[in-house]
Structure 1
Amino acid sequence: MAKLIFVNLPVSDVARSTAFYEAVGAAKNPQFSNDQASCMVFSDTIHAMLLAHDFYRTFTKKEIADTRRVSAALICVSADSRAEVDGIVEKAGQAGGTLDPGPVQDYGFMYGRSFEDPDGHVWEVMWMDPEAAKNGPPA
């Protein structure tokens, strides 16, 4: 079985965050969702768990970072083309996200952009030329 990743994100409004991630292209898995959490499926192996703050606190004693003010993580997902990178980021903007909080990365063989969700979590979307992914970047 392939390893799965579940990124757990504290969110201030589960319904709003669920709608945002659906607009970006994730699908809600109702089996693992309720009013305190939404399991958002990006692929067979990548999931984001959107957890209400009170529910998130049951997993950690640490303070929840205000990711609108501080960086807690940069989450990066791959895309199949430069156009798909742009499409996902544009959908995030149309759904109320902040576009390109970091610089656009264009190295020819690799292209990436980013967005912030309504709670300030930063997602990077990256495409890499398959040849470069296989053999490394050009000299």
Structure 2
Amino acid sequence: MTKVFVNLPTRDLERAKAFYVALGCEISPPFTDENAACVVWSEDIYFMILRREYFETFTDKPIADPNDVLQVSVAFSQDSREEVDAILAKGLAAGGSEPKPAQDYGFMYSRDLDDPDGNSLGFLYMTPEAVENGPDHVADTAASA
């Protein structure tokens, strides 16, 4: 099985760790030190939260400030709209921000959450019908009802 590691820069490692723990993640001590924290999202998904200065050692490219430039947005599916709202509530309480209002497309409900460093996370719920048949099928079914 492929493991996914998402590297994210931070200006405040302790604040970032507290934010992700508030979302329900765990910190992996063997891969955490004064420069980086390994945040366990799931058995197969990890965030490496890296101090900006340390992050810069991995590339010759400039590191964008996620408060000003969106380089990537990572999205996670949830099992219900309520779970989307619940994780947003946790993130907002832990210092995150919601950059735009919720998006409700009928077959899909999504909300975005920026961590305190501005890194963008998306959370969405998609109806089982849309997952199985695609959003056009759901729209066609609703229109013919």
Q: Within 1, Cα distance between the matches of 2:63 and 2:24?
A: 26
Q: Within 1, Cα distance between the matches of 2:110 and 2:123?
A: 5
Residue 122 of structure 1 and its aligned partner are, at CA, apart by 0.9
Number of residue-to-residue matches in the alignment:
137
Partner of 2:9: 10
Residue 46 of structure 1 and its aligned partner are, at CA, apart by 1.2
Query: In terms of Rg, which structure is larger?
Result: 2
Partner of 2:76: 77
Residue 77 of structure 1 and its aligned partner are, at CA, apart by 0.9
Residue 53 of structure 1 and its aligned partner are, at CA, apart by 1.2
Residue 108 in 1 paired to residue 121 in 2? no
Q: Within 2, Cα distance between the matches of 1:126 and 1:3?
A: 22
Residue 73 of structure 1 and its aligned partner are, at CA, apart by 1.2
Residue 36 of structure 1 and its aligned partner are, at CA, apart by 0.7
Partner of 1:27: 26
Residue 102 of structure 1 and its aligned partner are, at CA, apart by 2.9
- Secondary structure (helix, strand or coil) at the match of 1:125 reads strand
Q: Within 2, Cα distance between the matches of 1:54 and 1:66?
A: 12
**Aligned pair partner of 1:135 in 123, 128, 133:** 133
Partner of 2:50: 51
Q: Within 2, Cα distance between the matches of 1:127 and 1:28?
A: 26
- Secondary structure (helix, strand or coil) at the match of 2:131 reads helix
TM-score (norm 2): 0.90
> For structure 2, which runs of at least 5 residues remain unmatched after alignment?
141-145
TM-score (norm 1): 0.93
- Tell me the amino acid that sits aligned with residue 120 of structure 2: V
CA deviation map 1:13-49 (0-9, x unaligned): 1111000010011111112111111111111111111
Partner of 2:143: none
Residue 83 of structure 1 and its aligned partner are, at CA, apart by 0.5
Partner of 1:119: 117
Percent identity (aligned): 45
Q: Within 2, Cα distance between the matches of 1:96 and 1:82?
A: 22
After TM superposition, list the pairs within 5 Å mapping 1:31-42 onto structure 2: 31-42=30-41
Q: Larger % of strand: which? A: 1
- Secondary structure (helix, strand or coil) at the match of 1:98 reads coil
Please give the root-mean-square deviation of Cα atoms over the aligned residues, in Å.
1.1
